[in-house]
């Protein structure tokens, strides 16, 4: 397997499970040193399972004050740098707009948007000083379309795209690219459970390719954006939804 990312330091949030875990493994298999960040203490065990050496888990509540600065500081202290940041941590709290509680709204924005910005801001300080960096933010097809009961989630993911565009513009001349990736439903264990049965089959019929995305497909796109051949791609929101949003 290609060792494209040998010598690179990669930070992946939400890396204990789901898309984040697949992304962490993808980079580790290609030679990177991976720092996985997650609220769950299982992050230590998950990072120990990755191929290669030097990987570390950081158990951190990314909504806590100074979490971004502390996390990136820990990475830089251990590895001397941060080359790539993948903001994958996120939550989905559903309800109709008229019934959505303030708590659900605030929690969704805190995890999906504010925590991602604080991580990007902290990484951005190190990257712009080094004059190199790649930041990939996980948005969603919900960043460009409306979904029933997803008002907080859609708002947070649309805001991720707006944030991505501004950071890309401000940091481009310092060698830092910032992009967003927007998947449809991804067949992680949680995704399979949430979209099992008739509900999932009905949604698949609305997707031109007739299926959901696989975690490795998302990881591969993220890795491309983090690679040397993507240096001219910045400020983009790339949909990986089987054509659903183009209908």
* pLDDT tens per residue across span 117-158: 999 999 999 999 999 999 999 999 999 999 899 999 999 999
Average pLDDT over residues 226-238: 97
Percent of the chain with pLDDT over 90: 91
Residue 195 maps to a domain: no
Q: Which of 132, 153, 224, 244 is catalytic?
A: 153
Q: Which of 13, 21, 16, 47 is nearest to 33 (CA)?
A: 47
Residue 139 maps to a domain: yes
Active site residue 132: no
Instruction: Give the pLDDT score at 182.
Output: 97
Instruction: Give the pLDDT score at 210.
Output: 95
Helix, strand, coil % over all residues of the chain, rounded to 5: 50, 15, 35
Tell me if 88 sits within 8 A of 24, measured CB to CB.
no
Q: Which domain holds residue 226?
A: 9-186+215-240
Tell me: pLDDT of 247 over 80.
no
Instruction: Give the pLDDT score at 28.
Output: 98
Residue labelled with tokens 């509540």 = 61
Tell me: pLDDT of 235 over 90.
yes
Q: Number of helices (H) and strands (E), helices first, in the chain?
A: 9, 7
Residue 1 maps to a domain: no
Residue 124 maps to a domain: yes
Looking at the structure of the chain, the number of domains it has is 1
Tell me: pLDDT of 209 over 80.
yes
Q: Report the CATH number that the domain containing residue 121 is assigned in CATH.
A: 3.40.50.720
Angle formed at CA 95 by CA 92 and CA 100, multiple of 5 degrees: 105
């Amino acid at each position: 397997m290609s060792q494209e990312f040998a010598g690179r330091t990669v930070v992946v949030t939400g890396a204990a499970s789901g898309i984040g875990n697949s992304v962490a493994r993808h980079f580790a298999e290609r030679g990177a040193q991976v720092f996985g960040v997650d609220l769950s203490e299982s992050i230590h065990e998950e990072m120990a399972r990755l191929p290669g050496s030097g990987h570390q888990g950081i158990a951190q509540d990314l909504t806590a004050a100074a979490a971004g600065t502390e996390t990136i500081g820990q990475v830089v202290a251990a590895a001397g740098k941060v080359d790539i940041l993948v903001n994958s941590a996120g939550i989905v709290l559903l309800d109709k707009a008229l019934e959505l509680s303030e708590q659900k709204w605030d929690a969704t924005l805190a995890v999906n948007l504010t925590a991602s910005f604080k991580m990007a801001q902290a990484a951005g300080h190190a990257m712009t000083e080094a004059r190199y960096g790649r930041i990939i933010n996980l948005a969603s097809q919900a960043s460009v379309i409306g979904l029933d009961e997803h008002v907080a989630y859609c708002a947070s993911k649309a805001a991720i795209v707006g944030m991505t565009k501004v950071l890309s513009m401000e940091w481009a001349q310092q060698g830092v690219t910032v992009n967003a990736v927007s998947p449809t439903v991804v067949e992680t264990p949680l995704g399979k459970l949430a979209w099992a049965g008739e509900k999932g089959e009905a949604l698949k019929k609305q997707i031109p390719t007739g299926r959901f995305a696989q975690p490795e497909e998302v990881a591969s796109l993220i890795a491309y954006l983090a690679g040397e051949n993507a240096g001219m791609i910045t400020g983009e929101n790339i949909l990986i939804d089987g054509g659903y949003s183009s209908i």
